[in-house]
Structure 1
């Protein structure tokens, strides 16, 4: 399934201190287990999880109020078309 994913505290409104990976599933945000925020690049980069909500292809289920993933792959961000050089 394709889910919105980001830092739970910085972008998805979850409680806590620090930065932890979360997904939005069925209209609700859940912290993720099975992969971490630093496993997918610099969380504090311009396009990182603390600064942007990204899309990911995810397999998993809600277990004990957390989203336990068995598969997690970020969808590449769409880049604006470049203007041809004259």
Structure 2
């Protein structure tokens, strides 16, 4: 009888513990597909806290550091029109995961003169 009670107790505890955890499939990722955004240095232009000049995009008014692309992939960041000195526009595809933009594609858009 004690063994049956013990097994039932462990089973109930196991079910209640698993019911409180979030399934891995329901991540807080937000998919972005070909959305036009602002792109620049997060620290220099978007006033984000960081250790160095890092690429960032502003999606729906909120800045995110970019993973998958580097600030140097787009030329000299400290040049006259570089990301540390100017905000540009880009069309991006990727996901926002854990407050970072995981870039699949970034296409710089021509600047309007």
TM-score tier (shorter): 0.7 to 0.9
Q: Which runs of 4 or more aligned residues in structure 1 lie more than 2 Å from their structure 2 counterparts after TM superposition?
A: none
By percentage of residues, which structure has more strand? Answer: 1
1:8 aligned residue: 42
TM-score (normalised: structure 2): 0.67
In 2, the alpha carbon distance for the partners of 1:43 and 1:55 equals: 15
2:61 aligned residue: 27
Look at both structures and tell me which one has the larger radius of gyration over its CA atoms.
2
* Alignment counterpart, residue 88 of structure 2, candidates 50, 54, 59: 54
TM-score (normalised: structure 1): 0.87
2:108 aligned residue: 74
Q: Aligned residues, how many? A: 79
- Structure 1 residue 7: deviation in Å? 0.1
**SS class of match (1:39):** helix
In 1, the alpha carbon distance for the partners of 2:64 and 2:52 equals: 15
By percentage of residues, which structure has more helix? Answer: 2
1:82 aligned residue: none
In 2, the alpha carbon distance for the partners of 1:8 and 1:72 equals: 16
- Structure 1 residue 65: deviation in Å? 1.2
